[in-house]
Amino acid sequence: MRIVLGVAGGIAAYKAAHIIRRLRELDHSVKVVPTAHALDFVGAPTFEALSGQSVTTDVFDEVESVNHVRIGQEAELVIIAPATANILAKITAGIADDLLTATVLTTTAEVVVAPAMHTEMWLNPATQSNIATLRSRGVHVLDPAVGRLTGPDSGPGRLPEPEDIIDFALSAKDGSTPGGLSGRRIVISAGGTREALDPVRFLGNRSSGKQGIALAKAAHAAGADVELVAANIDSGLLTGLPENIAITPVESTLELQAAMRTAQPNADALIMAAAVADYRPVEATDSKMKKTGDEGLTLRLTQNPDILRGLVDERVGTQLIVGFAAETGDRATSALDYATAKFDRKGVDLLVFNDVSDDRAFGHDDTAVQIIASVDGQTKVGEEFHGTKDHVSQKVIAALTDQFAHVESTT
Give the DSSP letter of residue 146. E
Lowest mean pLDDT among 166-175, 200-209, 315-324: 166-175
Q: Note whether 105 and 190 are same-domain residues.
A: no
Question: Over the stretch 84-103, which tens digit does the pLDDT of each residue have?
Answer: 999 999 999 999 999 999 99
Q: What is the CATH number of the domain that holds 105?
A: 3.40.50.1950
pLDDT at residue 92, rounded to an integer? 97
Residue 186's pLDDT is 97
Q: Is the pLDDT assigned to residue 362 strictly greater than 60?
A: no
Quick one: residue 264, left, alpha or beta (phi over 0 = left, psi -120 to 50 = alpha)? alpha
Active site residues: 205
232/324 same-domain check: yes
Quick one: pLDDT at residue 386?
A: 79
| pLDDT for position 38 | 97
62, part of any domain:
yes
Mean pLDDT of the chain: 90
* Domain assignment present for 273: yes
State the average pLDDT over residues 202-227: 91
Question: What's residue 177's pLDDT?
Answer: 47
Strand 110-115 and strand 140-141: pairing? parallel
Strands (E), 300-365: 301-303, 320-327, 350-355
364 band by pLDDT with thresholds 50, 70 and 90: low
pLDDT for residue 179: 55
Q: Is residue 180 part of a domain?
A: no
Please determine, for residue 360, whether its predicted confidence score (pLDDT) is greater than 60: no
CA nearest to 242, candidates 259, 218, 264, 209: 218
On whether both 10 and 141 belong to a single domain, the answer is yes
What residue type is 385 in one-letter code? F
Which pLDDT value is given to residue 359? 57
pLDDT for position 173: 76
Which stretches of 40-124 are assigned E, i.e. beta strand? 77-83, 110-115
Least confident of 59-73, 242-256, 310-324: 59-73
Beta strands 246-250 and 225-231, pairing class: parallel
Torsion of CA 218, 392, 181, 24, to 10 degrees: 90
Is the domain of 110 the same as that of 226?
A: no
357 located within any domain? yes
| 311 found inside a domain | yes
Domain end among 147, 174, 201: 174
Any domain includes 291:
no
Examine the fold and report which residue of 143, 174, 205 is the final residue of a domain before the chain moves on. Answer: 174
Q: Does residue 179 lie within any of the structural domains?
A: no
What distance in Å separates the CA atoms of residue 399 and residue 404, rounded to the nearest whole number? 9
Phi, psi of 95 (to 5 degrees): -75, 140
Q: Is the pLDDT of residue 211 over 80?
A: yes
336 exposed, middle or buried (CB, 10 Å; 0-12, 13-18, 19+)?
Answer: middle
Of 31-45, 75-89, 162-176, the poorest mean pLDDT is in 162-176
Average pLDDT over residues 251-260: 97
Same domain for 116 and 227, yes or no, is: no
Share of the chain above pLDDT 70, in %: 96
For the whole model, what pTM was predicted?
0.69
pLDDT tens for residues 260-294? 999 999 999 999 999 999 999 998 888 888 887 78
Question: Are 243 and 202 members of one domain?
Answer: yes
Structurally, the chain folds into a number of domains equal to 2
Contact 192, 275 (CB under 8 A): yes
**Mean pLDDT value across residues 249-261:** 97
Q: Give me the CATH number covering residue 259.
A: 3.40.50.10300
Domain boundary at 174, 199, 215, which? 174
| 102 shares a domain with 198 | no
Residue 231 lies in a domain: yes
Q: What would the pLDDT profile of 40-78 be if each residue is shown by its tens digit?
A: 999 999 999 999 999 999 877 777 777 789 999 999 999
Residue 354, pLDDT score: 87
- 30, 20 Cβ separation under 8 angstroms: yes
Q: Which domain holds residue 266?
A: 185-285+296-409
For residue 411, the model assigns a pLDDT of 67
Task: Mark whether 133 and 212 lie in a shared domain.
Answer: no
Helix (H, G, I), strand (E, B) or coil at 235: helix
Please tell me the predicted confidence (pLDDT) of residue 6.
98
Q: Looking at the structure, do residues 403 and 260 belong to the same domain, yes or no?
A: yes
pLDDT at 389 over 50: yes
137 and 230 co-located in one domain: no
- Whole-angstrom CA distances from 89 to 124, 158, 211, 321 are 12, 18, 30, 38
Residues 144, 74 share a domain: yes
268 in the same domain as 405: yes
Q: According to the model, what pLDDT value does residue 76 have?
A: 94
Query: For residue range 183-206, what is the model confidence (pLDDT) as tens digits?
Result: 899 999 999 999 999 999 999 998
Q: Give the pLDDT of residue 358.
A: 63
**Helix or strand run (H / E) with residue 186:** strand 185-191
